[in-house]
């Protein structure tokens, strides 16, 4: 798997951004440099990230996706979907087709069930409505869409409401990932990292609602010991079972409290940045 940041520019200022624009100005970015970077990366899925990749424009993205396909790789296009609502139908259709041909899917950051909470998290005025329209238009254009709902101290109590919202308004998505916030970038420090045990009852309720509504779900960055009957939705368990190498082994580490755990062979432990803030599980 390879992650490429096309650039830092973005039309949101999410509190959980791990690659915020204020860290530094963009260097010269071009299709040629992106392709060179991708060719030098380890094999597997290419994650196109930013900043906001859709701001690269339909022409650049289609050329990039065609090159990814030519290298025999598939792509995940990470986006907040605002630009998907603003571009023309023709541009949207071209990107959807190019991504499909590359065997890929959109990964849309969708952090809230209502405009006020969305604004608090993304600081993009009018973002909620545009995002909702963006996702609906991508689905209508035939795209495979995964949603990522980043769990932070700002929205964890709203998890059941988000699940109900997704069931009602986001029909046609392929799957939904609940992903605990990473303590890096703008979210460095304790401010946005709730305790797992505080999140658990809300998350379990949300997962129950998703199951009732047949929404396929997975959970990342919250260990199986905090997922109750939904422990098997943790994405690391399959990677650990199959001996897959990746960031989960670098970002996470077992702690003394893991001793004797029934998941010990299938869980790499909690995130290190979580333990740096909360000291223990």
Positions touching ligand SF4 (CB under 6 A) are 223-225, 254, 257-258, 261, 263-264, 267, 269-270, 281
> Shortest approach of ligand SF4 to residue 245 CB, angstroms?
18
Tell me whether residue 83 or residue 225 sits nearer to ligand SF4 (CB atom): 225
> Shortest approach of ligand SF4 to residue 266 CB, angstroms?
8
> Shortest approach of ligand SF4 to residue 239 CB, angstroms?
13
Tell me whether residue 164 or residue 255 sits nearer to ligand SF4 (CB atom): 255
> Shortest approach of ligand SF4 to residue 263 CB, angstroms?
4
Task: Give residue for tokens 């094999």.
Answer: 43
Tokens (6 digits) for 18: 């791990």
> Shortest approach of ligand SF4 to residue 194 CB, angstroms?
16
- Each as own residue / partner, the long-range contacts of residues 219-223 (CB below 8 Å, 24 or more positions apart, any chain) are 219/177, 219/178, 219/179, 220/177, 220/178, 220/179, 220/180, 221/179, 221/180, 221/181, 221/182, 221/271, 221/274, 222/151, 222/178, 222/180, 222/196, 223/196, 223/263, 223/267, 223/269, 223/270, 223/281
Distance in angstroms between the alpha carbons of the first and the last residue of the chain: 29
Tokens (6 digits) for 249: 């082994």
**What is the dihedral sign for C-alpha 81, 87, 89, 91?**
negative
> Shortest approach of ligand SF4 to residue 122 CB, angstroms?
30
Q: Which of 229, 230, 223 is nearest to 267 (CA)?
A: 223
Tell me whether residue 239 or residue 254 sits nearer to ligand SF4 (CB atom): 254
Q: How far apart are CA 202 and CA 142, in angstroms?
A: 32
Tell me whether residue 85 or residue 267 sits nearer to ligand SF4 (CB atom): 267
Q: Tell me the pairing of strands 145-151 and 105-109.
A: parallel
> Shortest approach of ligand SF4 to residue 169 CB, angstroms?
33
Tell me whether residue 214 or residue 279 sits nearer to ligand SF4 (CB atom): 279
Tell me whether residue 72 or residue 243 sits nearer to ligand SF4 (CB atom): 243
**Sheet of 217-220, strands arranged across:** 2-5, 46-49, 75-79, 105-109, 145-151, 175-180, 217-220
Tokens (6 digits) for 96: 């959807």
Tell me whether residue 215 or residue 240 sits nearer to ligand SF4 (CB atom): 240
């Amino acid at each position: 798997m390879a992650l490429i940041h096309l650039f830092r520019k973005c039309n949101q200022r999410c509190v959980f951004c791990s690659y915020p624009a204020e860290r530094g100005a963009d260097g010269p970015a071009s299709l040629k440099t992106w392709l060179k970077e991708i060719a030098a990366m380890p094999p597997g899925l290419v994650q196109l990230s930013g900043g906001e990749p859709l701001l690269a424009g339909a022409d650049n993205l289609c050329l990039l996706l065609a090159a990814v396909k030519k290298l025999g790789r598939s792509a995940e296009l990470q986006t907040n979907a605002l630009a998907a609502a603003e571009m023309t139908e023709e541009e949207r259709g071209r990107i959807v087709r190019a991504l499909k041909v590359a065997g890929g899917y959109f990964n849309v950051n969708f952090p809230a069930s209502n405009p006020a909470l969305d604004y608090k998290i993304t600081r993009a005025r009018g973002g909620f409505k545009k995002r909702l329209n963006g996702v609906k238009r991508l689905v209508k254009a035939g795209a495979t869409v995964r949603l990522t709902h980043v769990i932070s101290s700002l929205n964890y109590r709203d998890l059941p409401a988000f699940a109900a919202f997704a069931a009602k308004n986001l029909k046609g998505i392929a799957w939904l990932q609940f992903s605990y916030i990473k303590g890096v970038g703008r979210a460095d420090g304790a401010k946005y990292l709730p305790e797992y045990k505080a999140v658990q009852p809300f998350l379990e309720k949300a997962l129950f609602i998703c199951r009732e509504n047949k929404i396929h779900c997975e959970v990342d960055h919250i260990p199986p010991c905090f997922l109750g009957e939904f422990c098997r939705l943790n994405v690391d368990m399959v990677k650990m079972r199959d001996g897959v190498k990746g960031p989960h082994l670098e970002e996470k580490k077992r702690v003394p409290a893991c001793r004797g755990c029934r998941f010990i062979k299938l869980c790499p432990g909690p995130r290190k940045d979580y333990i740096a803030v909360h000291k223990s599980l």
